[in-house]
Amino acid sequence: MTSIYPLATSTWGPEELKALKQVIASGNYTMGDRVKTYEKQFSEHFGVNYAVMSNSGSSANLLALSAIRYSSFKPSPGKDEVIVPAVSWSTTYYPVAQLGFKLKFVDVDLDTLNASVQNIGEAIGPRTAGILAVNLLGNPSQLREIRSLADENSIFMIEDNCESMGAIYEGKFAGTFGDIGTFSSFFSHHISTMEGGMSVTNSLELAQVMTSQRAHGWTRELPEENFIHKKSGEDFEDLFRFVLPGYNLRPLELEGALGIEQIKKLGRIVAGRRANAERFTELMKEFPDFKIQRELGQSSWFGFSLILENSDKGDRTELVSRMRQRGIAVRPIVAGNFARNPVMKHLPHVDLPSLHNADKIHDCGLFIGNHHYEMKEEFDLLRDTLEGFTES
């Protein structure tokens, strides 16, 4: 069934199609000048020194953890635990394990859906290497306070901002508080480059490590003087010298070209989403049996979460079925309590604490889409659907 109220829609216009055609006409599809231009524009937009594009937000997270591991930011021996919120996407967690760290889960706040400063602070111990803060569904975490915790304890902070491009906390863009922040431009996100991710930092060393590791761990894209390995000046050697354990996470020129056009629209896209959020928040006052996400700072409202609080009014399975029947696309709140997934047997982690709120989200939560355009018909459908559910 085609969704009347879809989860995601395109933000492309004729500008993006023209940009794609120009790349095709050039015959140069792999990472090149357009990617570099987009990186520069992205860093300028968000007020950071460096931006390194990759082929996905998941890859941006992998680069971020890997850069920490292979730089002067690496934790001292014996520090191997990374604090993570219990509710996030899978590739928030995988790079932690893949880079030799252990996951240390903390519960999230049921209102904001993010890990609180209190929970993070209580989890810091002698083996803590860093904090991986996540801004869920467009909503900033308590980023300045988390940054202070990291600084006070001399540990790293990475910010997974893949769902929250354009969000603001205390006058500063989310994704720019950590040593590294990550973004996604997958189709369903705020801007779309088809697939695509970005890792931002104010550290030249971290930017150079990520640049090297993005493409095989070689020195090709590095300047002659760099933090990793001095070049010889001989292209025959410098183009094929491998100095770090790397990957192939390069984006395409097509994606860079799309990014150049999409970043121009980000302000309008976020404004449209925030206007819809005001209407959604007002609408949901009619349905007190549902808890919705409480905005912290200025959310960019990736989507709208609903947590069914009163089981006497039915259960989530019934609500999901009703929504789908009515043409409303619906998903779990990201991955629910990720610690309940079978993949955990493959991921090194410390003993799990009580994750009561994450369990509530896992069992009783769902989220629906938000868009950059006015959603009157979609909200009318949602109201009618929820009225039918609560009255049944």
By annotation, the residues acting in catalysis are 189
Integer Cα distance of 78 and 96 in angstroms? 16
**Is the distance from CB of 377 to CB of 284 less than 8 angstroms?**
no
Kindly report each contact of residues 375-378 with a partner whose C-beta sits within 8 Å and lies 24 or more positions away, as own/partner: 375/5, 375/276, 375/279, 377/4, 378/4, 378/5, 378/328
**Is the distance from CB of 159 to CB of 181 less than 8 angstroms?**
yes
User: Which residues, other chains included, contact 352 with Cβ-Cβ below 8 Å and sequence gap of 6+?
Assistant: 105, 339
Its sign, for the CA torsion 87, 157, 265, 276, is: positive
3-state helix, strand, coil in the chain (%, to 5): 40, 15, 40
Residue entry with tokens 């905005």: 295
User: Kind of pairing, strands 168-169 and 172-173?
Assistant: antiparallel
Integer Cα distance of 23 and 256 in angstroms? 10
Give the three-state DSSP class for 200: strand
CA 178 to chain CA centroid, Å, is: 13
Mind giving me the DSSP string for 351-373?
Answer: PP---HHHHHHHHHEEEEE--SS
- The DSSP symbol for 241 reads -
CA 24 to chain CA centroid, Å, is: 29
Closest of 358, 144, 162, 390 to residue 290, by C-alpha: 390
Tell me the angle at which helices 376-391 and 316-326 cross, rounded to the nearest 10 degrees.
Answer: 140
